[in-house]
């Protein structure tokens, strides 16, 4: 099933939704391509969908869910890919003194 959360995420002068699959990445990529999404909109485990495509995603069959439900179902499906942890290096920490 394709899931999409509400367009609540501001970035680059627009507002965005997250779109995932709780079945497979293949399902997600096919759905996104049919929606006209560029491959560059995919990040680790989701597509960033501009608010102007939200209704089209719903009409195409995506299920509207809350942000929490989207994350829960993505994680439960074993498809969640977290950002890699990058420890701070000595040169990247800001000094307070």
Do residues 37 and 49 lie in contact, with contact meaning Cβ atoms separated by under 8 Å? yes
- Cα–Cα distances in angstroms (integers) from residue 68 to residues 33, 71, 94, in the given order: 25, 5, 33
**Is 95 among the domain residues?**
no
pLDDT value of position 96: 46
Based on the structure, what is the number of domains in the chain? 1
pLDDT value of position 78: 84
Name residue, tokens 């439900």.
Answer: 69
pLDDT value of position 82: 76
Written as six digits, the tokens of 13 are: 């002068």
**Is 15 among the domain residues?**
yes
As a whole number of angstroms, the distance between CA 89 and CA 20 comes to: 33
pLDDT value of position 93: 52
pLDDT value of position 97: 45
Under-70 pLDDT residues of the chain: 84-86, 90-97
**Is 49 among the domain residues?**
yes
**Is 54 among the domain residues?**
yes
Q: Which residues contact 11 (CB under 8 A, 6 or more apart)?
A: 48
Q: Which domain holds residue 30?
A: 2-76
pLDDT value of position 42: 96
């Amino acid at each position: 099933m394709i899931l999409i959360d509400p367009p609540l995420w501001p970035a680059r002068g627009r507002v965005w939704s997250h779109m995932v699959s709780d079945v497979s990445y293949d399902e997600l990529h096919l759905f996104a391509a049919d929606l006209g999404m560029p491959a560059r909109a995919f990040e680790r485990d989701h597509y960033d969908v501009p608010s102007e495509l939200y209704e089209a995603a719903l009409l195409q069959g995506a299920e509207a869910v809350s942000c929490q439900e989207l994350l829960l179902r993505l994680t439960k499906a074993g498809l969640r890919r977290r950002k890699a942890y990058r420890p701070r290096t000595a040169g990247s920490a800001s000094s307070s003194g």
